[in-house]
Structure formats: C-alpha cells, structure tokens
Structure 1
Amino acid sequence: MDDSSRMWITAVPPFGPDDVGVLLSVDTDSADPGERIACRLLDRGHEGEEGVFYLLPFDLAARYARTGDRLAVTLVAPRAVVDEEPGGTAEQLGEHEEGWVALLRRELVTDFVPEEQGGEKQAVLVIDHLGPAASLEELFAGFEAGESGIAVLNAQ
C-alpha cells in the first residue's frame, strides 16, 4: 500500500478547522510487527478530549524528515519499551538510533512544513482503525462513531 494513502495534511475535527497538521492512520489488525507494536503503545496514553489520547514522549514519539518535496514521518519507541511488548524484539524492526527503534514510516509529497513553537516541533496525530485501507472521511466517521481513537504524539 502506498504510504501517501495513510498520511494526510489536514485539520482534525476534535481540534477544529484551523489546526492543520500531519495525520497518520494505523491498522489495529496489521501484519506488520512495527505497526502492531505502535497500535499497542497507543493504549498507553491518557485521555484528553473524548476519544483523544496524549502519549508520553518516552513511550512513543514521531520524527519528521524532509527530502526534496517529500515529508516523512517515522514513529519511534525506545528499545526497552519495544522489548517489553509481546513479540516485540527490536532486532526485527527498523533502524536503531540512540536507543530508539523505528516502528513505521510514512511519507507524502507536500510543501507543508510543520510549525514549531518555542523550539518544540508540531505534534503528529495518529488515528487507529481496523483494516488496511480507509479514506479520510471513513476514518473521521469511525472516530465520531467511537470505533477509533486519535493519539497526539510529540515530535522529536
């Protein structure tokens, strides 16, 4: 599946029409080990607005990278956290950097530049859903129906 079908630059309904940012979707039933671990780590958050979870930066975080006209976002978790998860051995997953393991990466052609405030990068939003593909409209409808949640991840 093309990464761009699972990453959007958009406003997210619970946050209002003026808050445009990066939204990634993750399949709660994915066969990919990194995506499965990322979905389980989404359960470690604390709830803010109804259905919106805020994760601690030492459990799961996001990293931005730009190459030409492409913006990439990688979800990363500390090696120790990954190794605590069932079936989660850091060796079977992506790159390792300073104790962090890459769980999944999405990229998109865009001129969008995530904002920074006070030296902090703009958070990345992650919406979980069941199944490999869903349109943005289907994801938001699932959220409104209480079938999925949105997590706010700090960006490094």
Structure 2
Amino acid sequence: MSTTDISIDSLAARIGQRIGSSSWITLDQGRIDEFARCTEDSQWIHVDVDRATAESPFGGTIAHGFLTLSLLAPTIFEVLISHLRLKQAVNYGLEKVRFIAPVRAGKRVRNHISVVALEDKGKGRYLLTIENSMEIEGEDKPALRAHSMVMLIARPPEKN
C-alpha cells in the first residue's frame, strides 16, 4: 500500500486481497511484563523467566495471547486506516479469533492484512471486516488469526 490517501470506495475492489503487512514488533520481556501489570495477568508462563525456562514446554516465557491480539489495532492503523480519507475509525468487534502458536519472549511479529468485506451502513458509515494473520518471524505457524471489524466514518465531501 502506498502512503497516499485512498478512498473508502476503492476498498470494495480490494475484497479478498491482501492489503499489506505491518512493520515488525518485538515482544520482549519488558513489554510482556508491562502487559501483565496492566491486565493483572501475571501467570508464571509469562513473567517468571527462571521457572518458564525450567518448566515450560516453550523453553522460556511467552507473550500473552491477548497482548498479541492487542497489536491488531496499531498494525491495522499503520497498514490501512492511516491511508484512508476518514473522519473517524472505531473498533467494532472481533470474530474468529484463534491463538495458533505461542510467541516466545524476544520474538518479532507482524500482521498481514486482507479485506474480507465492506458493508455500507448508510449516513457515511461503512463496516470494514479485515482478516489478520500475525506472523512470528522465522516460524511456520502464525501467532493468531482473527477477523476484526472497524466502523469507518467518511469525511464529508469537500465543498468547491
């Protein structure tokens, strides 16, 4: 995707197509620990490096699935939303969320984004459904797959 603005209408022609991939994001132990504090999910598999190294089947700590899921919003913004001519974009929901593979601490992830559907809701509102596949660098399976929905609110046409 180019860095120039695109219209909402042009998304209809992109249904079923990959829009692009986000930048890589490192899920290091500091980020995992911060997420654990914010969500009060301090399960040892995420935050106790020594225990996870000794006892976990992954050989160390792993990122929370919901931490990885939370990266959909900024990666969708980077790849798509920031390039649309919009008044506003609002998260609308998630469907078909599947956590497929764990993300070990220190690994990098990126989101591959495709357009699934674009529904005109009237009054300048469009419901966009996006397929997300969060790749883990160097791994065969993605961390997660999910459909996310965003309500797009178009900018009013410019007056001449």
TM-score, normalised relative to structure 2 = 0.28
Normalized per residue, the structure richer in helix is: 2
Instruction: Report which of the two structures shows the higher radius of gyration computed on alpha carbons.
Output: 2
TM-score norm. by structure 1 comes to 0.29
